Amino acid sequence: MDLRKDLPVTYRSRAAAACKACHDRKVRCDYLVNGSPCTNCRHDRRSCVLRLKGTVLRNRKQDPEALAQNLVPSTSFQDDHNVTQRENRDRGYPGLVFSSDILFSAFSFIERPDLSSIPPEDVVFLELKGCLHVPVRRIMDTLVKAYFTHVHPMLPLVGEPEFWKSYLSTHSGRERRCETLSLFLLQALFFRSCSFIDSETIQDAGYGDISQAQSTFYRRAKLLFDLDAEHQHLSKAQGAVLLSYHDAPPDCRPGSHWLSAAIHSAMSIQAHRSDLNEEKDTADIRARKRLWTSICLRDGIIALSLREPLKVVPVTTSCSVVDNLETSRVYEPSITRVLSQLLHMRYQLSGLLARVISLTYGSDQIPHVGDVASWGQWLHLRIDCLKSDLALWDMESKTIINQMFGSLGCSHPYTQIYIHLLSFYYYTARILLFNRELGLVGALPSTPEHHDQRRGALLSDLQETVQSITFIVSELNRCGGTSHLPTTLYQDYLGAGESKAETSCDL
């Protein structure tokens, strides 16, 4: 699908930048499209080094202050840096700037970070680590398309129409009429998109495998965040939400830490206010509502996977956030309508998941009662109420899905993955409730025979639920949808077929 069709702007006849050899020869250069080397240098077997405009090019001295002010390293700096990269690769060290990377300033739609408050040596460090580099356009197109194909339908974090308007703009900086995109947000977006692109594209971009590409973009985004290169709270929060997908040992809990950073930035712009729906519908209000809704969705999944309480109180989502999917450039209208309906179903399920997590991991306050039996009865009633609400959601969802199966969109591979993911989280919530209820059997006033009977019934329901979730995991594995699952939950159920009881009790 052509991402630039029906674009109301005209394309520039000249490239934004060219390599030094093509510039000296005054010939057309495709460095920004195909990366290094460009077609001319590859045919002539010349060294291909990007030449960018900027006052630093007129100053050959290695002046960190000039680098901080202009954000474009000098030609001699770049030559030395390329030599260092080649030496590192020859010695077997992983490269920090890859053959498909160019400086972000080659693209007018990327916002120039305000690095004036950062020490000059830190700016040089960001350049050396590749944080000021992005992939060439063809690789970037693949990553952006993968994001809006696989990530955005389940987590509408950014406004898709506004993003495409900026991303596909081709005018120069002096004629800029669109909002620019944050470099930090783009690096975080590329990190998340790496899970959904093929190995051929990964190798074409210069990376050895998906893991190396992910770690590269994650490191770049993290350094931009740690060195305070991003000052906009909205972009900081959006990027932090995407970085919460980073996989690491459970004891490191990076997802939880990044989500906390996102919450802090979001609250700085009042995105958590419950009265946003009552204000005038502007682009800023919509952006803040999308942000806080995405934080609530991620909070539930992270709490579920790390077995920890929720960080925020879920909010009722405005329909305008769901309608954001209907302007997709990567899906046909029939598919976007189905995805919008599935997203609405996920919002409803996230509210139920929040109640289950609060009950299971103890964030709710237990009322002061006189004895353990009364407390057990109160908790048992809450569990029964949640099980009934989950069953009602499941029944209504199956009805909607059965009605949608007659449409073209519901047969799309991604919609099938989405449906399996919703079922996965539904059954996971049921397992949590079953495990919680099993611990209450002895606290309820009854005879030992009744306790044994009740425990046997719960174990039977639990085994049936584990069998269902094992089937869902196998289906997700078959259709390539396991990248959407939290690593800890996926590992829990990966061997569920071999040891169902052990897996269910572990969760």
Q: Which two tokens stand for residue 71?
A: 């954000």
Question: Comparing C-alpha atoms, which of 246, 279, 282 is closest to residue 262?
Answer: 246
Q: What are phi and psi of 406, to 5 degrees?
A: -80, -10
DSSP secondary structure letter of residue 51: E
Three-class SS string for 178-233? CCCECHHHHHHHHHHHHHHCCHHHHHHCCCCCHHHHHHHHHHHHHHHHHCCCCCCH
What residues contact 280, with CB distance under 8 A and at least 6 apart?
A: none
Report the SS3 class of residue 499.
Answer: coil
Is there a contact between 342 and 410 (Cβ–Cβ < 8 Å)?
A: no
DSSP secondary structure letter of residue 110: B
Rounded (5°) CA angle 235-191-111: 35
Terminal C-alpha separation, the chain: 42
Q: Over its length of 507 residues, how does the chain's per-residue pLDDT go in tens digits?
A: 555 555 444 444 456 677 888 888 888 888 766 666 788 888 887 777 777 554 333 333 444 444 444 444 333 334 434 443 444 444 333 445 666 788 898 898 999 888 888 888 888 899 889 999 999 999 999 999 999 999 999 899 998 988 999 998 864 444 445 688 999 999 999 999 999 999 888 988 888 889 999 999 999 999 999 999 999 999 999 999 999 999 766 556 778 899 999 999 999 998 888 666 666 778 888 899 899 999 999 999 998 888 888 998 776 554 445 445 557 888 888 888 888 889 999 999 999 999 999 888 864 545 555 555 676 777 888 888 999 999 999 999 998 888 876 655 567 788 889 999 999 999 999 999 988 888 777 666 666 777 788 888 888 888 999 899 889 988 888 888 877 877 666 555 544 444 443 333 333
What are the domain boundaries of the chain?
370-506
- Rounded distance, CA 69 to CA 119, Å? 11
Report the SS3 class of residue 330.
Answer: coil
Report the SS3 class of residue 16.
Answer: coil
Is there a contact between 329 and 367 (Cβ–Cβ < 8 Å)?
A: no
Task: Name the pairing type of β-strands 101-103 and 133-135.
Answer: antiparallel
List Cβ<8 Å contacts ≥24 apart for 471-478. 472/420, 472/423, 472/424, 472/427, 473/424, 475/420, 476/417, 476/420, 476/421, 476/424
pTM of the model: 0.78
Three-class SS string for 129-156? CCCCEEECHHHHHHHHHHHHHHHCCCCC
Is there a contact between 254 and 191 (Cβ–Cβ < 8 Å)?
A: no
- Rounded distance, CA 86 to CA 74, Å? 18
DSSP secondary structure letter of residue 26: T
Cα pseudo-dihedral 279, 283, 285, 288, rounded to 10? 170
Q: How many helices (H) and strands (E) does the chain have?
A: 21, 4
- Rounded distance, CA 55 to CA 126, Å? 19
